[in-house]
Amino acid sequence: LLQWSLEAFPAAFGDWQPETRLIEAWYLLWLVILLFKINEGLIRHFQGFGGKSPSGNKLLFFMARFLVFGGAIFAILQLSFDFEASKLFTSTAVVAAVVGIAMREVLGNYLAGISIHLVGTVEPGQWIALGDKEGEIIQRNWRETRLRTTGGHILIVPNSHLANVLVNNMSWPNNLRRHTLDFTLSFAVPPAQAREQLINAALGCAQVDLSFKKPDAWILAFRDYGVSYRLRFWSRTFHDRTALEGQVQERVWYHLQRATIAIPFPEGGQLNCISLSREEAAVSEGDEISRELIACGFPQRYFSREDGSFVAGQEALRRFAGRLVPLLFGPGETIQREGVVEPAGFILLAGEGLLVSRLHPQEAWAMQPGEMAGELSLLTGLPWPTSLITREKEGRFLKVSADALQELLAASPEGRARFESAMVQRTRIMMESLQQLDARVHWQERMQGEAPPEDNTAHHSA
């Protein structure tokens, strides 16, 4: 536009007319800019940026523009104005060297930040470990990277340090990671039994991931005082592994306790064993267990008349108690799963239990001491209709076999009638609550315009 104005109205500008070399320099500069923009647009198109560049590529384009435009200006000065650019480079070399030495730490962090951004070593939101320090990346810039640990502490790591150490990225390409825990058990325990208890303990934790691999356990070494096993399992919360590994070890304790497996340890040159079982509460001691049954209210709930007398007699209760197996379960542990075909029932002695349905996991029925779960499976051999789990506290249960319950019911027809009546009454309450829940869900989905759910009434009735 300026050149057109000069040519169209020469009298308006008088003697002032631009030199030819200025016009050539102007055209050369914009020609370089045009070529660079075309090249940059092709790069963005084929790399799929869609007009938006990641932060690292923004810096790359900025540096490329700076170098191209600076080189173009020096080239134009050299070609059009006979300016020796080498003199300018020579005069600034000393200044650049002094500035580089004085700011070597800052420049080192800056260049390391450029490298990290361009390569994509770490990204915000990822969990990384640097030696004994680890945390989530919450912010990064050209000088430093900021981490937040699981304890809430903020760690500021210079980029030069991040670029020179081994980085354990716990979020890339995904957050699936393996845990390992070592246990030493007695030589008297068969390896197959020990491995089974360790694996079952890991399977009982909800945070253990089963989508990739199931937990496994192997013999690690033979020690002077026992056999060392290694338990391996996977999770997607490796950054907060203390809670999960602690829960797995707690589950191992309860499993070993119920399996009467001892943990050996050396003390004073002698080998001692801590038995995790209550041998004094064995099945043969029916008197003690019968007293616990009476204390928790089991006979009063199922086998007592209105005057409080036990319909089957004390001797039948003592024989029944002698065939029960006392078990201890940890907080939140699954005792029996829904759909499992196992003719076994459980009487709650202490603590709290929950009956949860897979169809409606938000609905649960609390068990109180003295109540029995699984009696329907004991009498019919059908799968468990619900899952039985403990709550926040550990629970003490008595495992009931089908033969033990049939012997107790055979001791008194009146006792059988009272037991079956209580069982039917509780089943009716559970079925009615599930039907009401189905009706609420059906109404909510109709209000939201969704398709009606599958009718589960027949399932509950069956």
Per-run averaged pLDDT (10 residues), the chain, 462 residues: 75 70 79 83 70 55 75 74 66 68 77 81 91 91 90 92 90 93 92 94 92 95 91 94 94 91 65 49 63 88 77 83 90 88 89 81 81 86 87 89 89 86 80 69 62 47 44
Are 195 and 229 in contact by the 8 Å Cβ rule? The answer is yes
**Helix/strand/coil percent split, the chain, to 5:** 50, 20, 30
**Buried b vs exposed e over 162-185: b needs ≥16 C-beta within 10 Å?**
bbeeebeebbeeebebebebebeb
CA distance linking residue 421 with residue 416, whole number of Å: 8
Are 431 and 460 in contact by the 8 Å Cβ rule? The answer is yes
Phi, psi of 446 (to 5 degrees): -70, -40
Non-local (6+) Cβ contacts of 199 within 8 A are 214, 215, 216, 217, 231
Tokens at 202, concatenated:
């890991």
**pLDDT score at 135:** 94
Could you check whether the bond before residue 173 is cis, i.e. omega within 30 degrees of 0?
A: yes
Cα angle value 380/397/278 (rounded, 5°): 130
CA distance linking residue 370 with residue 346, whole number of Å: 10
CA distance linking residue 106 with residue 100, whole number of Å: 9
Amino acid identity at 406: Q
**pLDDT score at 458:** 45
- Where does residue 452 rank: exposed (0-12), middle (13-18), buried (19+ CB within 10 A)? exposed
Residue 428 has a CB neighbour count (10 Å cut-off) of 10
List, in sequence order, every beta strand (DSSP E) within 58-132.
127-130
